[in-house]
Amino acid sequence: MRASAFKRYSILGQLGVWTILLLIFSVEEMDYSDVGVSLAYGFCKTLVWPLAVYPHYYRLLPLLQKGRLWLYFSLTFLLIFFTASLSVWVDQIFPFNYDYDYEEGFYFWGDVLYYMLLVGLITAVSSLYYFIELWQTNQERAFQLRQLEAELNFLKSQINPHFLFNTLNNIYSYVQTGNPQAGTMLERLSSILRFMVYEGSLDTVRLQQELEAVENLLEINKMKNSKQVNIILKTEGVKGYHLIATLIMVNFVENACKHSDAINNPEGFILVEVEVKEGDLCVLQIANILRASGGVDHGFGGGLEAKVFQT
């Protein structure tokens, strides 16, 4: 069951429970009062018990989940005692102007204990629902994480073989012509492949290492045209302790290089900007330009936001 449907049914269930309690309290009072007063009694009594259930659900159960046991049990006891005392007080003020004698032997503390047991019971039932809802939420999160992991693994496998073969052909051509760029290009390509082989199977990698691979990728494309100076990488806020999902940036940058004419067009450009903002939010922005067959330049860009981790 999806979380939205689960929550919808839970709301209907809560309304059903409070309605049943309203009827029970009202019918109980009908032995001593008329219908109007009995309904008023049941309504007031039903309003009292949620004062224990909902604060316990939304405020105290998270304390239990965090392991703060003493604080949880102390506050829960005080909350249930307060609600039980209010229930006894409601019993004492009803019915308003009707003559009603309490049974002999009525003891305030006995009734408080009685209501504490009842309020504690319904609070325990709400606690069961809390943990069911928590389990449901964790199941959905686990499913979403599995989907994201599958998408990330697919993304890692998308490094274009054309880039590798094209770069090797360039290196071969440089070697044949004695171009001094051959050694540098081979070194950068070797660094990228080493990163992909040894780090690519990891879940996370240092952001600086990922950016080194991006830089090598851009430099290789820049070296393919000695007149190209508009392939640029800008970084801001990157620290040595930042971690990120492996190869997530390399794939986007490689795709931007693939769909750009910056190699053949000295006026073309590829701009990659990486900024780590407050809250460890890493923002990747990529812009390039592609010369269409009709001679019209179309600029386009893309962005990615992701959380970086800290070692």
Residue 32 in this model has a pLDDT that exceeds 60: yes
CA 264 to centroid of chain Cα atoms: 43
- Residue 303 pLDDT level (bands cut at 50, 70, 90): very low
Residues 87, 49 contacting (CB under 8 angstroms): yes
Buried b (16+ CB within 10 A) or exposed e, 199-219: bbeeebbbbeebbebbbbbbb
Residues 287, 271 contacting (CB under 8 angstroms): yes
Residue 258 in tokens:
């693939």
What domains can be seen in the chain, in order of their start residue? Answer: 3-153 (no CATH), 158-310 (3.30.565)
Question: Strand 270-277 relative to strand 231-236: parallel, antiparallel, unpaired?
Answer: parallel
Residue 163 in this model has a pLDDT that exceeds 60: yes
Instruction: Please state the rounded mean pLDDT for residues 237-242.
Output: 87
Most confident of 97-101, 143-147, 277-281, 292-296: 277-281
Report pLDDT for 235.
92
Mean pLDDT of the chain, nearest integer: 76
Residues 292, 306 contacting (CB under 8 angstroms): no
Instruction: Please state the rounded mean pLDDT for residues 217-226.
Output: 84
- Residue 11 pLDDT level (bands cut at 50, 70, 90): low
Report pLDDT for 124.
85
Sheet holding 297-307, edge to edge: 231-236, 270-277, 281-291, 297-307
Residue 284: strand pairing partners? 274, 304
State the pTM of this model.
0.49
Place of tokens 């269930």: 13
The 10s digit of each residue's pLDDT in 240-282 is 888 888 878 887 888 788 778 877 777 788 889 999 988 888 8
Residue 233 in this model has a pLDDT that exceeds 80: yes
Report pLDDT for 13.
65
Residue 309 in this model has a pLDDT that exceeds 60: no
Q: Is 228 left (phi over 0), alpha (psi -120 to 50) or beta?
A: beta
Report pLDDT for 273.
92
Q: Where are the alpha helices (DSSP H) in 178-247?
A: 181-199, 207-223
Report the C-alpha gap between 89 and 104 in whole angstroms. 17
Instruction: Please state the rounded mean pLDDT for residues 178-195.
Output: 86
Residue 198 in this model has a pLDDT that exceeds 50: yes
- Residue 142 pLDDT level (bands cut at 50, 70, 90): confident
Report the C-alpha gap between 10 and 17 in whole angstroms. 10
Handedness of CA 246, 156, 275, 279 (dihedral sign): negative
- The vertex-242 CA angle with 154 and 218, nearest 5°, equals 60
CA distances 146 to 99, 140, 250, 305, Å, are: 67, 10, 22, 19
Residue 270: strand pairing partners? 231, 288
Residue 66 in this model has a pLDDT that exceeds 90: no
CA distances 306 to 139, 246, 248, Å, are: 22, 12, 10
Instruction: Please state the rounded mean pLDDT for residues 206-224.
Output: 89
* 126-134: Cβ within 8 A, 24+ apart: 126/53, 126/56, 126/57, 127/56, 127/57, 127/61, 129/10, 130/57, 130/61, 133/6, 133/7, 133/10, 134/65
Most confident of 51-55, 103-107, 164-168: 51-55
Residue 239 in this model has a pLDDT that exceeds 80: yes
Residue 155 in this model has a pLDDT that exceeds 60: no
Residue 109 in tokens:
């503390």
User: Please, what is the angle between helix 181-199 and helix 207-223, to 10°?
Assistant: 150
Report the C-alpha gap between 146 and 175 in whole angstroms. 46
